[in-house]
Structure 1
Amino acid sequence: MQIRDLPYPDPGIPDARSGPRFLVWLGRNQLGGQLKALSWGLLHFLGIGGLPVGAGLAIQAVIDRSGTRLAVAGGLIALFGVAITVGDTMLHRTAVTNWITAAARVQQLLARKAAELGSALTRRVAAGEVVAVSTGDVEKIGWFVEALSRFLASVIAVVFICVGLVLYLPELGVLIACAVPVLALSVLPLLPHATQRADIQREKAGKATELASDTVAGLRVLRGIGGEELFLGRYRRASQEVREAAVRSARMWALISAIQVLLPGVLLISVVWYGAHLALDGRIGVGSLVTVYSAVTLLMFPLRHFEEIAMAYSFSRPSAKRAARVLSLERTAFESERGGLDDARPTGELYDPATGLRVAPGLLTAVVCGDPDAAGRLAERLGGHATEEEQSASVLLGGVPLDGLPLTAARAAVLVQDKDPVLLSGTLTELLDVPSSGVVAADKALAAAQCGDVLNALAQASVDGSGDPMRSTITERGRSLSGGQRQRLALARSLVTDPEVLVLDEPTSAVDSHTEARIAEGVKALRTGRTTVVFASSPLLLDHADAVAFVHDGKVAAVGTHRELLVADPAYRAVVTRETDEEQAAEPPVAPGRVTTEHRATDHIDARQIITPAPSPAREEIEESA
């Protein structure tokens, strides 16, 4: 695989049982690139090992006044120089290719897993850890894959050089051959401590990244409550902990590097001292001494790769462990076995056996739930994102279990927009360029979501000066927009997809009441003939719904229109109008059954409670009416 051929058509199925197993699997899939790098590395290191031979022959030829042997020595030095140059160039090229392609493979695997898990990913793994894995950890894993081939080439080169020195000059070769393994293994006792400190640093860095991500995401809220300094102080402390951990880790690696400099230096001094005595005694020639001295000096270069591979593995092992933990996640145990059904979209009634909720096809159904967390879980379950504990109560669409459908078919049939949707960076055209039926145009979706003021703001902020809002850039997570603007753009994106069933969780919690009423009308008109489920407690939305289901204590307690339930169900009225217990106790009981016109006329409930949204803590801001 070359860089120009990326991305991979299929990154493969990783062995995510552990970090080391994942690294082995990754290296096995990079086998072709590893062999290429190993070959070029051998050429490079053996060229380095051959230089002392040419230098020794040249010096001996000068001493013996042999021009022929000097010319041969010069030719050998030139040949080894070419080998070093070509080998080093191609080794760097192939090693970097291995690095980039390995990192790209891991990124593709993570992206595929994120797409498979969807919103379940951040419920199982902290957002900061996901960011750390997909950025810094990917780079460190690629570093180990890249360093592995150079390390293997250096091992083979060191063995060849040691064997050659033993055969060439046994008096000094045996000393060097015995000392090199000691040099290579001298840092092993320190590696566990270095690895432990590196793990601590990675853990603290991941927590700091998570804290920074959460702080930036909630910056608007923090400014509203004056909590910037509090969270800034927390990040300062987390940052200092990362710095201290990094310093402790760097000290250990500095000690390892010092040992890797000190011991080879001691070996070199010993070789020179012993070799000089042998030369003075006439047991070896000056050329032989120069050859051995040069070989020991150049031998330090491949030995450096022993330290590098130890460092690369120490840093990549925790990174691979985190990546394997993310890649080992499954959407549900049942979904991993499914796939027997075709990809056709089921249609019909949406039914949740756990709560008894039935959503009639082609209508706008509102769901009122007093517990926001329970509402969020129910919305996720309606989209087929049931947990393993909820598999026995799989949601049915037209009698077909959503958890029994292939993932692509389930997502095409039911789309869930949570209460905090994410806008990706890019132009508005790119934001709305999503898989869809092609029936709903972008302009109609934007109009239904009441995005007129958003388009005007984007047109004024147009970078290219065209004034075209569709070409304006939306910053990461839409942070340049207000909460209500982000919410409406996300709603427009969901409307463009035109799924068979659209589930919206509090889609208007951040907009004013006038805009909310127009959005309710627009969504109902645009979704005519399609099934729409809205989780809300706003009377304006509820009054536009064809039917309202009230979920209490995990079960559907009442079904009707908004106005009927206001009169007939005190618990529903308490949730929607925020009535207190005292106010409920003071009301006369209402007999069950159909609500009559006379009862509505004499009911004491203020009409404003029907047409005016109750104050909601979820509302982040009040916007100007468009």
Structure 2
Amino acid sequence: MRAGQAEPGPLATTNPDERRRPPPRAPGIDPDQSKGWIKRAFPLLKAHRGVFMAAFAASLVTVVAMVLFPLWLGTAIDEALAAPSGQRDSLARFVWILVAITVVGVVAAYFSRYLTLRMAYSLEFDLRTLLYRHLSTLSASFFDRVRTGELVSRANSDVRAVQMLLAFGPMLIVQFGMFFLALYFMLTIDVGLTLVALLSLPAVFVIGLTMRKHMFPVSWLVQSRLAEIATIVDENVSGAQVVRVFGAERRQIGVLARAAQRLRWASMRLVRIRATFGPLMQNVVRVGEAAVLLYGGFRVLDGAIGPGDIIVFLTYLVMLQAPFAMLGLLMMLAQRAAASAHRIYEVLDERPEIADRPGAFDLPVCRGEVELRDVRFSFGSDQRVLDGVTLRVPAGHTVAFVGATGSGKTTIAQLIPRFYDVDRGAVLLDGHDVRDLTLRSLRQHVGVCFEEPFLFSASIRDNIAYGTPGASDDDVVAAAKVAGAHEFITQLAFGYTTVVGERGYTLSGGQRQRIAIARTVLVNPPILILDDATSAIDVQTEQRIHDGLRQLMHGRTTLIVAHRLSTLSLADRVVLLEGGRIAATGTHQELLTTEPRYAAALAHVTDEERIRAAQLERERTVTPDVEWRPIDPDHLDEEEML
């Protein structure tokens, strides 16, 4: 995400199902970072304790049914088949008992599986939504240093890894519950035979601990390299045109191949660990099984146990082995979930640098007076971007900022809505330090239109109405006319219902800027900031937009970052910035006649304007403004429309 760009939130929609979708049920994770990842997730788990208890009860019934079945089967063999003819009970009675146990077990297993998966997917929804909501509160500086693909990976594959453990972990725990119940009945049959069966379990335990020690760091490495690949793919897809322009396809393929190779190496390390320890755990138990068969055979021959007992014992022995056969899967899921949970917690533990102060208040009415008092600011380095800027813009005035690249024009535009906080000094709105206002209230009064606008994969109408989802169609059309966008929109096959592609790249740069201006116009803020918002628009269209903006700007405080000479005509006053300081202020004519540095800056701006005009002309030659294939909204399903 670009520095200073407003963090996109969920697109407003008129879909009633979307409005009814419930928010996360839990307030968040435990903030105590000294606790284990499962303990930190307890607030999430507690929100679903009702479903969990029901799933646990169903699981217990399932376990009891599974353990009782072989017990009654053995009883049927001893009392209805193997007993002397005069002492045999009716076999039909045992058959009906076994059928009843089977039916109860099947029904209980259904509810156990259904409720467990329901809880797992609900937790996945809660965790992913909490992660997204937390991301929406983080400051622009966080997105400056963290790659988008890394965040996408943590919100998708890492959350899914945690969900996999939550889905299968309880099922495996049920298997261990069955182990202890089966062990109890085995002890009632023959203690010596049971002890022989348990001889291999200490070795399985040691192997499991060793496997856990090796798997955790490798699982973390695999998830990190998955995030690296997600970042590379995101950058290559987003910057596909840049890659093609410089003929760097082969080089980028090489970058992706090397990242994939690193992932392959880490994945193979994980595979080798599983291939080494998994068979060991399974086959150590097999050695114990052979010993049990040998000793149990002698016990049957000695008459110590009956034929039904040996069948029951062998069936329980399979139940005894099942948890250890799944132990490898549980270890793998647990270690991967632990690594993923820590990566998710790294984001959730990040504190926003820009947040409401204690006692921050709303500003219900804004006149629009903006003041900078001795503002000093730097982007975390020794080089200051702003160094002692003092400026007052009366309400209803329009000020243009002019200066070379890096002089601090855009930084001022970012400080007013508090995308960043000043190092020293203060930014005031109607005499109030912006740090004393709530962020929501502040940004409701400040509309910002950036040079590189962000559009959502939605209809043009929804993109324009993004800041005011309740706006009428007439208001949307009126805003589009002010921004000079109505004409090209009506020429599209589906007009305002046309769905634009990802980030609006199916539109030209000038079209995207006009829609972004319309979006800001529709919000109708008392303070308007235009950060080179018409740089991708041709001169003729820009002039029509200026005519609309003059009417809009009347009585409204407007700050313009100017990279075009024509834009200066909108301003009452011009501020010349040089090296992070105000070099001169005045009207355009005053500065032109009295300030040589202003004339030099204008010459530089004029050169940039000529270069940009030539570039726009080339773009129109290669790709006409509206000669692209729009997306038909009637052929999209509901999920794509959202």
TM-score, normalising length: structure 2: 0.83
Q: Does 1:503 align with 2:529?
A: yes
State the partner residue of 1:613: 609
Within 2, Cα distance between the matches of 1:290 and 1:618? 88
8 A contact 1:364–1:547 mirrored in 2: yes
Aligned length: 583
State the partner residue of 1:351: 371
8 A contact 1:167–1:173 mirrored in 2: no
Within 2, Cα distance between the matches of 1:73 and 1:256? 43
Q: Mark the CA change 1:447 to 1:227 in structure 2 (over 3 Å): closer, same or farther.
A: farther
State the partner residue of 1:331: 352
State the partner residue of 1:470: 496
State the partner residue of 1:48: 66
Within 1, Cα distance between the matches of 2:391 and 2:135? 29
Superposition CA RMSD, Å: 3.0
Q: Greater shift after overlay, 212-221 or 255-264?
A: 255-264
State the partner residue of 2:362: 342
State the partner residue of 2:274: 253
State the partner residue of 1:574: 600
SS of the residue aligned with 1:199?
helix
User: Which consecutive unaligned segments of at least 5 residues does structure 1 have?
Assistant: 461-467, 580-608
- Matched to 1:344, the amino acid is P
Q: Greater shift after overlay, 46-55 or 62-71?
A: 62-71
Q: Does 1:202 align with 2:223?
A: yes
- Matched to 1:15, the amino acid is D
- Matched to 2:71, the amino acid is V
Q: Mark the CA change 1:575 to 1:226 in structure 2 (over 3 Å): closer, same or farther.
A: farther
Q: Mark the CA change 1:46 to 1:138 in structure 2 (over 3 Å): closer, same or farther.
A: same
8 A contact 1:41–1:154 mirrored in 2: no
The Cα shift of 1:141 comes to 2.0
Q: Mark the CA change 1:454 to 1:435 in structure 2 (over 3 Å): closer, same or farther.
A: same
Q: Mark the CA change 1:438 to 1:52 in structure 2 (over 3 Å): closer, same or farther.
A: closer
2:82 alignment partner, one of 63, 66, 70: 63
Sequence identity, in percent? 24
User: Which consecutive unaligned segments of at least 5 residues does structure 2 have?
Assistant: 1-17, 376-388, 626-642
Within 2, Cα distance between the matches of 1:494 and 1:560? 27
State the partner residue of 2:382: none
Within 2, Cα distance between the matches of 1:454 and 1:243? 49
- Deviation track 1:197-216 (CA, whole Å, cap 9, x = no partner) reads 22111111111111211221
State the partner residue of 1:399: 431
1:13 alignment partner, one of 22, 28, 44: 28
Within 1, Cα distance between the matches of 2:318 and 2:614? 70
The Cα shift of 1:383 comes to 1.0
The Cα shift of 1:253 comes to 2.5
- Deviation track 1:6-32 (CA, whole Å, cap 9, x = no partner) reads 522654133245471543443343333
Q: State how 1:531-550 maps to structure 2 within 5 Å.
A: 531-550=557-576
The Cα shift of 1:148 comes to 3.8
- Deviation track 1:296-333 (CA, whole Å, cap 9, x = no partner) reads 11333344554333222211222222222222233326
Q: Does 1:267 align with 2:288?
A: yes
State the partner residue of 1:601: none
- Matched to 2:132, the amino acid is A
Q: Greater shift after overlay, 416-425 or 84-93?
A: 416-425
8 A contact 1:426–1:474 mirrored in 2: yes
Q: Does 1:217 align with 2:238?
A: yes
The Cα shift of 1:295 comes to 0.7
Within 1, Cα distance between the matches of 2:535 and 2:177? 66
Within 2, Cα distance between the matches of 1:225 and 1:172? 74
Q: Mark the CA change 1:27 to 1:173 in structure 2 (over 3 Å): closer, same or farther.
A: same
1:529 alignment partner, one of 541, 550, 555: 555
Q: Mark the CA change 1:70 to 1:622 in structure 2 (over 3 Å): closer, same or farther.
A: same
State the partner residue of 1:360: 394
Q: State how 1:93-242 maps to structure 2 within 5 Å.
A: 93-117=114-138, 119-177=140-198, 179-180=200-201, 182-184=203-205, 186-242=207-263
TM-score, normalising length: structure 1: 0.85
Within 2, Cα distance between the matches of 1:196 and 1:569? 63
8 A contact 1:141–1:320 mirrored in 2: yes
The Cα shift of 1:160 comes to 2.0
- Matched to 1:321, the amino acid is H
Q: Mark the CA change 1:257 to 1:25 in structure 2 (over 3 Å): closer, same or farther.
A: farther
State the partner residue of 2:48: 30
Q: Mark the CA change 1:566 to 1:107 in structure 2 (over 3 Å): closer, same or farther.
A: farther
Q: Mark the CA change 1:9 to 1:127 in structure 2 (over 3 Å): closer, same or farther.
A: closer
SS of the residue aligned with 2:233?
helix
